[in-house]
Amino acid sequence: MKTIFNIPKNLTPDSYLLVKKSRPLFGEISVGGAKNMVTKVMAAFLASDGGECLIRNAPFIGEVANILANYEQLGVKYSFFPDRTLKVNFKNLKDFNLGDENTIGSRISILMAGPILKHFGQAVIKTPGGCKIGKRKIDFHLQGLKNFGVEIKEDGKFLRMKVKKGGLKGIKFKLPFPSVGATENMIITAACAKGETVISNCAMEPEIMGLIKILQRAGVSIIVNSDREITINSSENLNFKDVTIIPDRVEILSWASAALATKGDIFVKNAYQDHIVTPLGILEKMGAGIEINHDGIRFYYKGELKPTNVRTEIYPGFATDFGQPFAMVLSQIKGKSTMHETIFDNRLGYLETLNSVVKKNKFVLKNNCPVNDPCRFKNKGYRHLAEITGPVEFGKGEVEIQDLRAGFALIIAGLLSDGLKIKYLDLLFRGYENPISKLKSLGADVELVNG
């Protein structure tokens, strides 16, 4: 069977996207399946005790390709069809090692620890590194896994894990912060363990609920209690069925930002309202045009928008991932807005990158918090508050993508600029499906130049 990916081939470090001032974006595009659900489902599937599973609406993105490379290393057979159905067969996992030099290191691999340990009693995983948005520690993951009965040796590059005698055993564990990845890791590992697990202070993102649903359907008993507490009792045999990936809420909001920043009008086909009620409310209050239909959501500019102060938060608050494209909307609004990032300690670095091409009204980054805000980054010295005085004018120059969502923000800036060369595109394709053809279909002046 064929593996299908619409990711441009032969990208080099010299490849760039040339993005120039464009007319307001106008038209219709379709949103892909959620990166942050499909990847977790693919990790959880490894806990399967055999048989075939189907993932529908799996997006053609780099992060899925990375996990398929992990699958190949573990001996998992799959077929990825043009209708975005991914068929996976878990008959014979043949390796516990996700750690050799050729393995693609992704933050998802640590979520595969529980399933690999369930099958082999040991696992070797590349240590996920920090990245440009913050330190991205894995201490909650490691503490939780140790509590389940896993011995872990770290040598800087790899995590070498071994299950203690008696196997993985259910735990009671309070997460120090409602981390998305650590919540998912604890749920997946609990599904591989004997006995009951109770995790408190959990994250509750829609993608986590999606993960819970497929585990429930595979026979795991899961109760989402009040106060962010989740109770998990596994079953002897895990047989996953088919699952449909929810639309990517961050992609929906990325296109909403592109529409509003360029004063355009975009219909995002298949967009769900359910997972984005908070940002929708904020956009509506600012004066954005929003039309919610049964088959998607239209975002359009209907007149001057109001400056706004936004604080990124855990779900159901305003998502940190949306903060980056949204800052480009704020950049075009007359007056002063602020973006207060409270999830990652260094997520605003892309605004500094953009300052190198700003002709008027540079972004101002500060390390203080708004008065009386109970921010966990208070007095830590992190530059996590941006003052944005619009309209910002973008000139021309070269900028580098630092992380996925910042990549989309740079593209929006390019659409308002005298011409931006945007580099390190693999980070963009890691999470957006066909961004260039979607942009072109909306009237954007973008061109991929392969260096």
Contact positions vs ligand EPU (CB under 6 A): 35-36, 39, 107, 134-141, 177, 179-182, 203, 320-321, 343-344, 404-405, 431
Active-site annotation holder among 53, 131, 192, 369? 131
Nearest CB to ligand EPU, comparing residues 176 and 281 = 176
Cα Rg of the chain (Å, integer): 22
Rounded distance, CA 66 to CA 355, Å?
Answer: 32
Nearest CB to ligand EPU, comparing residues 296 and 431 = 431
* Pick from 335, 348, 343: nearest CA to 409: 348
At residue 356, φ and ψ (nearest 5 deg) are: -65, -20
Alpha-carbon dihedral sign for residues 96, 102, 107, 108 = negative
Residue 335, both tokens: 């007056």
At residue 30, φ and ψ (nearest 5 deg) are: -105, 140
CB of 427 to ligand EPU, least distance (A): 9
Nearest CB to ligand EPU, comparing residues 36 and 337 = 36
Torsion of CA 329, 331, 332, 333, to 10 degrees: 90
By beta carbon distance, the residue nearest ligand EPU is: 181
CB of 370 to ligand EPU, least distance (A): 19
Rounded distance, CA 446 to CA 419, Å?
Answer: 10
CB of 428 to ligand EPU, least distance (A): 11
CB of 160 to ligand EPU, least distance (A): 18
Nearest CB to ligand EPU, comparing residues 41 and 358 = 41
Q: What are the distances in angstroms from CA 292 to CA 17, 136, 251, 276, 289?
A: 32, 35, 16, 12, 10
CB of 12 to ligand EPU, least distance (A): 23
Nearest CB to ligand EPU, comparing residues 7 and 18 = 7
Q: What are the distances in angstroms from CA 116 to CA 21, 25, 295, 398?
A: 49, 46, 39, 43
Task: Decide if 190 contacts 170 (C-beta within 8 A).
Answer: yes
CB of 346 to ligand EPU, least distance (A): 9
Residue 59, both tokens: 């997006």
Torsion of CA 54, 59, 61, 67, to 10 degrees: -20
Respond yes or no: is residue 131 known to be catalytic. yes
Residue 310, both tokens: 């936004």
Cβ burial of 48 (10 Å; 0-12, 13-18, 19+) is buried
Nearest CB to ligand EPU, comparing residues 52 and 229 = 229
Task: Decide if 30 contacts 206 (C-beta within 8 A).
Answer: no
Task: Decide if 222 contacts 216 (C-beta within 8 A).
Answer: yes
Which H helix or E strand runs over 411? helix 404-415
Nearest CB to ligand EPU, comparing residues 265 and 321 = 321
Residue 296, both tokens: 């998607």
CB of 230 to ligand EPU, least distance (A): 15
Rounded distance, CA 402 to CA 428, Å?
Answer: 9
CB of 309 to ligand EPU, least distance (A): 20
Nearest CB to ligand EPU, comparing residues 233 and 278 = 278
- The catalytic residue positions are 131
